[in-house]
Amino acid sequence: MTFVATLVGLTITLTIPLWVQSNFYMYILIMGAFNAVLAISLNLMLGYIGEKSLGHAAFYGIGAYTAAMISSHFGLSGPLNLLAAFVVTTACAAIIGIPALRLRGPYFAIVTLGFVLILQLLVLNGGSFTGGPSGLPGVKRLAWTGIGGPYVFSTDIQYYYAAIALFWIALFVSIAAVNSKMGRAWLAIRENLDLAESIGINAFYYKMIAFLMGAGLAGLVGALYAHYIGFVSPRIFDTWTNVLIVAMVIIGGEGTIIGPVVGGLIMTALPELLRFAEGYRMLLYGLFLLAVIMFAPQGIVGLVADAWHKLKARSNVVR
């Protein structure tokens, strides 16, 4: 069943560009893929470990800025940028994680929030190093200059495939992690941390891994985003981005694999559908988010799963 679903998914995602003509829809697809990966990466921490990390936008931003800064200051824009983004983001996550992961619940959430804000301030005040308030424009297109000759990612379709590749990698990594012994440890930590510790699970260690994995993935997305859009600005660290990422996970359904994917897609598609109501866009987002939290705390995926169970139960009775 899952195999079939994966095959279908792969086929769809790999062939969509053939159907889509306009740049606008391509943009949505690409951002959708990015957002899905972001949601997956946050879900590791949020859904599986159960700790609300409010600073995820930080890692996205660090990745984007690292790539952009390398492009600006060194003129490079190859896989090195992506690797650097991954490394830098993970390193930052380790640094902030060491003190932060010892904290629980609201305290952890607040520290991560504080982290994003300090980062934004640093970037705003970084002068020409970080581009200051106006950000860094002119990020070069992603380019491969090794064997096989220079290959430049200049069209949307190319970025789309790069994004999709990242998406599938993220999905598989996340599935593998969740189904491993480590994944069980994460669940144990989420359900009952003291009990987990008492039977030998080093909570700090496992939390750190989830945190680093999530951060690294987010950093990669950020870097890819930077090369795609062509510029970065401090607005990437705004509360809005943060809330958006959290919203994607919650709306889709935390603690599940497809949940964040669904959430990511919905939250990407929604603003475009609501484009007509420009000023009201955020308002509707907020209301939507509130409604989901209040009435469907398990997210859309949870809602569907519930409905599915109810349908099955009913059909059994009828029989």
Partner 1 sequence: MGYVLMALGLTLVFGIGRVINFAHGELYTLGAFIAVVLVQASFPYLSTLLIAPLLAGIMGMLIERLIIRKMRGAGTSIWAPFLATLALLVIFQSLYLIIFGPDPHILQNSFGYTSIDLFSLTVMGQDALIAGVSIIVVAALIWFMHHTSYGAAMRAVSQDRDTALLMGVDVNAIYALTWYLGVALAALAGVLVTPEATVDPYIGRIVLLKGITIVIVGGLGSVEGAVLGGLMLGLIESLAGTYVSPSFKDGWGYALVILVLVFRPRGLLGQQLRRG
Partner 2 sequence: MLSVEHLRKKFGGVVAVDDLSFDIARGEVLGLIGPNGSGKTTVLNLITGFNEPSGGKVSLEGKDITGKPPYALAKLGIVRTFQNTSLFARMTVLENLRIGAHLNDSGKPDDGLDAILEELDLAKHQHAEAKSLAYGVQRRVEIAIALAARPELLLLDEPAAGMNPEESGELVEQLKRVLARKITIILVDHNMRFVTRICNRLILLNRGQKIAEGVPEEVLRLPQVIEIYLGKRRYA
C-beta closer to partner 2: residue 93 or 203: 203
The CA distance from 128 to 70, in Å, is 13
Q: How far is CA 317 from the centre of its chain?
A: 42
For the segment 167-206, give every residue that binds partner 1 (CB under 8 A): 193
Q: What is the DSSP string of the chain?
A: -HHHHHHHHHHHHHHHHHH---HHHHHHHHHHHHHHHHHHHHHIIIIII------HHHHHHHHHHHHHHHHHHH---SHHHHHHHHHHHHHHHHHHHHHHTTS-HHHHHHHHHHHHHHHHHHHHT-HHHHTGGG-B--PPPPEE-STT--EE--SHHHHHHHHHHHHHHHHHHHHHHHTSHHHHHHHHHHH-HHHHHHTT--HHHHHHHHHHHHHHHHHHHHHHHHHHHS-B-GGGGSHHHHHHHHHHHHHH-TTSSHHHHHHHHHHHHHHHHTGGGGGGHHHHHHHHHHHHHHH-TTHHHHHHHHHHHHHHHHHHHH-
Binding region for partner 1 (CB under 8 A) out of 59-67, 81-89, 135-143, 285-293: 285-293
The CA distance from 203 to 191, in Å, is 12
Contact with partner 1 (CB under 8 A): which of 34, 44, 52, 170? 52
Residue 305, interface with partner 2 (CB under 8 A)? no
For the segment 119-138, give every residue that binds partner 1 (CB under 8 A): 121-122, 124-125
Contacted by 104, from partner 1, partner 2, none: CB < 5 to 8 Å by type: partner 1
Residues in the chain: 319
C-beta closer to partner 2: residue 191 or 306: 191
C-beta closer to partner 1: residue 231 or 240: 240
C-beta closer to partner 2: residue 143 or 209: 209
Residue 1, interface with partner 1 (CB under 8 A)? no
Closest separation in Å from C-beta 114 to partner 1? 4
Contacted by 290, from partner 2, partner 1, none: CB < 5 to 8 Å by type: partner 1
Contacted by 195, from partner 1, partner 2, none: CB < 5 to 8 Å by type: partner 2
C-beta closer to partner 2: residue 78 or 299: 299
For the segment 180-209, give every residue that binds partner 2 (CB under 8 A): 181, 184-185, 187-188, 191-192, 194-203
C-beta closer to partner 1: residue 213 or 247: 247
C-beta closer to partner 1: residue 155 or 239: 239
What is the binding site for partner 2 (CB under 8 A)? 181, 184-185, 187-188, 191-192, 194-203
Residues forming contacts to partner 1 in the complex (CB under 8 A) are 52, 99-100, 102-107, 109-111, 113-115, 117-118, 121-122, 124-125, 193, 239-240, 243, 246-247, 250, 279-283, 285-287, 289-290, 293-294, 297
